[in-house]
Amino acid sequence: MQSTDNAMHVAQVLTEALPYIQRFTDKTVVVKFGGNAMTDQALQNSFARDIVLMKLVGMNPIVVHGGGPQIGDLLQKLNIESNFIDGMRVTDSKTMDVVEMVLGATVNKQIVSLINSNGGQAIGITGKDGNLIHAKKLEVSRQLPEMTAPEIIDIGHVGEVKSINRSVIDVLVNSDFIPVIAPIGVGQDGASYNINADLVAGKVAEVLQAEKLMLLTNVAGLQDKAGNVLTGLTTQRVDELIADGTIYGGMLPKIRCALDAVKSGVASSHIIDGRVPHAVLLEIFTDEGVGTLISNKN
């Protein structure tokens, strides 16, 4: 039997969560799963339970996952060298075969199994299934000081989202399944493309006009120059933080993805700390949250 104090704490948590549950019933939430949350066993299980609970209280969670470290590990075991340009993996045909194997089979099915073993009903798909993600080759240009014109660099089977076939997702959601999406797209020529999972999650959220886009990271959230976590940001304020150099480096693409989603009709984007157990539930169902929220609301 639990103590009165513990019982009161549980009651307080449930009471705080109730208005959020009521507000977000029937709403779509797109969650990008990656970082520490994807590799730590305890965090994996807390994430899976969060997703299952969201579904049970009437929300429509959609999971998009990455898998960079897992891809790197297998490439190393197969003695296939990894090269990066501007943080993007150069993906030739051999590497793309490994990417498809890791993302579309191993990692995707692990996440599906994780959610199902925690009481959910998940189905794993890649962007090639049902032509879910139409991709085009990503063009990368680089200009060094000594160059008179930018250099176009071919990084192989790396793509960007051209369009999303939402009917594939609608079929799964309307059948009460939780979609788990691997970020592999298909080009007009039938070629496979590896796409950044944040970008896929952002585009899926835009097409579905989701209530929330949630990007799990390995940091506490967007921080100011003094290291304080910033939250409750408008899109205009985020633009200002990019302009003054507060947001830079590796965080910039993730923030731009979150910003673009809100500017395209997603109600709010969240950069949350995936190292915190139950980070997804804490961000959705508590007043304080565990990360950075971006919206159009002042």
**Distance from the Cα of residue 72 to its chain's centroid:** 19
pLDDT at 39: 80
The dihedral of CA 136, 142, 147, 149: what is its sign? Answer: positive
DSSP summary character for residue 284: H
**Sheet of 133-137, strands arranged across:** 159-164, 133-137, 184-186, 192-194
pLDDT average, residue stretch 87-107: 89
- Residue 32 confidence (pLDDT) above 60: yes
pLDDT at 48: 95
pLDDT at 144: 61
> Are the C-beta atoms of residues 199 and 160 closer than 8 Å to each other?
yes
pLDDT at 61: 97
pLDDT at 126: 96
- Residue 13 confidence (pLDDT) above 80: no
pLDDT tens digit string along 268-286? 999 998 888 988 988 888 8
> Cα dist. 280→41, 52, 114, 214, 290 in Å?
16, 11, 16, 8, 8
Query: What is the SS3 assignment for 131-159?
Result: HCEEEEECCEEECCCCCCCCEEECCECEE
| Interatomic CA distance for residues 21 and 18, integer angstroms | 5
Which of 17-31, 115-129, 136-150, 262-276 is least confident?
136-150
Burial 258-293 (b: 16+ CB within 10 A, else e): bbbbbeeebbbbbbbbbbbbbbbbbbbbeeebbbbb
- Residue 134 confidence (pLDDT) above 90: yes
170: tokens are 């609608």
Q: pLDDT-based confidence at 257, cuts 50/70/90?
A: very high
> Are the C-beta atoms of residues 222 and 229 closer than 8 Å to each other?
yes
pLDDT at 45: 92
- Dihedral angle computed from the Cα positions of residues 223, 226, 232 and 237, in that order, rounded to the nearest 10 degrees: -90
* Nearest CA among 177, 204, 205 for reference residue 294: 205
pLDDT tens digit string along 176-201? 999 999 999 999 989 999 999 999 99
| Interatomic CA distance for residues 174 and 161, integer angstroms | 24
Which of 119-128, 272-281, 289-298 is least confident?
289-298
CATH class for the region spanning 23-295: alpha beta
| Interatomic CA distance for residues 35 and 218, integer angstroms | 6
Crossing angle of helices 235-243 and 251-263, in 10° steps, is 150
pLDDT at 147: 58
Residues whose CB is less than 8 angstroms from the CB of residue 111 and which lie 6 or more positions away in sequence, other chains included: 33, 48, 63, 65, 122, 124, 180
Residue 179: strand, helix, or coil: strand
